[in-house]
Amino acid sequence: MRVAVNISYNGRNFSGFQYQHDYRTVQGTVEKQLKRMHKEFVRIHASSRTDAGVHALEQYFHFDTPIDLEPEKWKFILNRAMPDDILINDVSIAADDFHSRFDAEGKTYRYKIYTGTKNPFYDGLKTHYPYALDIKLMEEAIAPFIGTHDFTTFSSAKAEIKNKVRTIKEFKVIETEDGYDFVITGTGFLYNMVRILAAYVLECGRGIRTPDTLNMIAAKDRTIIPKTAPAEGLYLEKVWYEKL
């Protein structure tokens, strides 16, 4: 039986989602409980791997099990064993060929920043950017990203994937009470891509970089965007599926 799980977590005290020996990770935490239940190791497969300090409002993983339980029972048992920074939102019985990663139609990320005075209660939850920002300049920088492009300029130099073409369906900036949220939806994202996009848009909004997005994309040169925005402001907000 294949079980699909919708999970939220505060990533501040995790070294990312993916299991790492001797480090606290979301995958390691969940698999530890599943091993306790099954008396043997059970691998979970996630829709994506978030980095250290990145949060998830909605992340999916699946696993196979011989234990026949109702979804609500799975949810209750798993939640009872989870630490305070993990919540099991929903559990469902998936088709045998369902795959959390390969069946994902797309993802939505939200990047949260606040301006002005530093707020200790946002530590680890929002990125502090203590500069005045022009929303029109940020919107000008964002608009050309919509569509299908080669995002080499906006991917990590560590990215091992050769095909850097991705499709962005929505990218918008939302003014909040004390800052801005960037919300971006796409069919897929490269390593660090959202955080690099956020850093670029913030520099445009601050006025230290002129919005020149189409030429930046065309350059296919990672070195012209040297910065990556901090992990703490990034949230995996939604994973889109057609058949779950």
DSSP E strands: which ranges in 55-121? 55-64, 86-94, 104-114
Q: In the beta sheet, which residues pair with residue 113? A: 127, 180
The pair of three-digit structure tokens given for residue 242, joined into one six-digit string: 């057609």
Choose the catalytic residue: 51, 90, 150, 212.
Answer: 51
- Please confirm, yes or no, whether 51 is among the known catalytic residues: yes
| Cα–Cα distances in angstroms (integers) from residue 181 to residues 15, 110, 193, 206, 240, in the given order | 24, 6, 16, 15, 20
φ, ψ at 191 (rounded to 5°) = -60, 125
Is 235 marked as binding a ligand? no
Integer Cα distance of 131 and 225 in angstroms? 19
Q: Where are the alpha helices (DSSP H) in the chain?
A: 26-38, 71-81, 135-142, 193-206, 213-219
Provide the annotated active-site residues: 51
Binding residues: 109
Binding residues for substrate: 109
